Amino acid sequence: MINILVITTWFPNEININTGIFVKKLIEAQIKYSSVSITVVSPIPYFPKLNFSFIPEKYRNASKVKYCNDKNGYLVYYPRYFKLPSPYSEKVDWYSYFKAVKKTIKKEKIKFDIIHSHGLIPDAFVATKISKLFNKPIVNHIHDTYFDEIYKKNKIKVDEIFEHSKRIIPVSHFQANIILKYYNRYFEKIEVVYNGVDTEKFKYNVQNIEINNPLNKFIFVGVIDHRKGIDLLIESFNILKDLSITLDIYGKGKQIQEYQKQIDLYSLNEKIKFKGEIDNNLLGSELSAHSFFIFPSRYETFGIVLIEAMACGLPVIASNITAIPEIVQNEEIGILFESENYLSLSEAIKKAINKKWNKKYIREQAERFSMKVSVDNIDKIYNNIIENNN
């Protein structure tokens, strides 16, 4: 059995239930399908129990997170590290993060053969320092959006991360090509592993193989901000307000009030509703209660919610950008529209509601991205590292 130490801040806790949920789901699939032992160290920024408004809520709530959580098959440690509430803090925060991880490893006597980090800065950088300190190989899983910007801000750190990595795992070929633009010399280290979906948890109603749902209920799930294209959705629904269509928006974000004003302006309150954040354990059933998944994002490294919707048999309407065409590969799965163009989105919506869809076929396409496939690919990486280190 290979012992894996996961280092990441992208991991859920009882305060932020969906933060890094994709990492949690991957680890649980590894425990289920693979012969590995996994321990997670996910440092939490420390703040005293003060209710000052200038301190972000997620940091004010950090004191409520338990230090250790037994996740039924693996342990997760949430040590505290000091973090300044400032956009410049990342230049110094990594060191207190590093000390918190090192202290936890020694205190809990964590044994590990490979380090697996999720996220670049500060996660992979700290994991690289831990790798050097304990002389253990490291795999860096790159989920990060906007790699170009991260590289330009943190070139020295990213150079060190990539030089020291045994393997670099982008989550799409789109992302891999961006990385290769800067690190073509590390071509042999780079192996794409798509994010996976739990096809047992996300599934469709087998009693209704083909659908042409007259309710035309659309659903969006994601962060409520400009990058996700919520404004484009509202503009499109305004154009199509005479059609019998509705939209449920799940997620949280600072721009909800701004978009609600846009909805109010167009008198779309009966058609578009913000539903708040949804527990991922409930997402499958909620997706299945809708007719279409709609995703007008302006940028995506992958877009895991797309394959979750597909696994539930939902046709997808999404922007034709970045990694999305790697997922929505033909018009029997969904319809891609021109990014930033709400007129194109409106046409895609009309086309979707007038098309007959085969849920079984859509589900089969989602199975290409099953968790089992992702785990098998990561196992090959681990085994190759162990063999070459012996």
Task: Inform me whether the pLDDT recorded for 81 exceeds 60.
Answer: yes
* Predicted pLDDT at 29: 96
Task: Inform me whether the pLDDT recorded for 207 exceeds 60.
Answer: no
* Predicted pLDDT at 28: 95
Alpha-carbon distance 125 to 158, whole Å? 7
> What domains appear along the chain, each with residue ranges and CATH number?
2-196+370-389 (3.40.50.2000), 210-368 (3.40.50.2000)
Q: Quick one: 251 exposed, middle or buried, by C-beta within 10 A (0-12, 13-18, 19+)?
A: buried
How remote is the C-alpha of 307 from its chain's centroid?
12
Task: Inform me whether the pLDDT recorded for 209 exceeds 50.
Answer: no
Task: Give the residue-averaged pLDDT of 349-358.
Answer: 95
Task: Inform me whether the pLDDT recorded for 58 exceeds 80.
Answer: no
Residue from 224, 205, 221, 223 nearest 213 by CA: 205
Q: Which two tokens stand for residue 149?
A: 């910007």
pTM of the model: 0.89
Task: Give the residue-averaged pLDDT of 255-280.
Answer: 96
DSSP code string of 88-100 = TTHHHHHHHHHHH
Q: Quick one: 243 exposed, middle or buried, by C-beta within 10 A (0-12, 13-18, 19+)?
A: middle
Residue from 316, 320, 310 nearest 344 by CA: 320
Q: What residues are paired with 38 via a beta bridge?
A: 4
Q: What is the pLDDT of residues 309-352, one digit of tens each?
A: 999 999 999 999 999 999 999 999 999 999 999 999 999 999 99
172, 175, 316, 367 from 364: Cα distances, Å: 20, 25, 14, 5
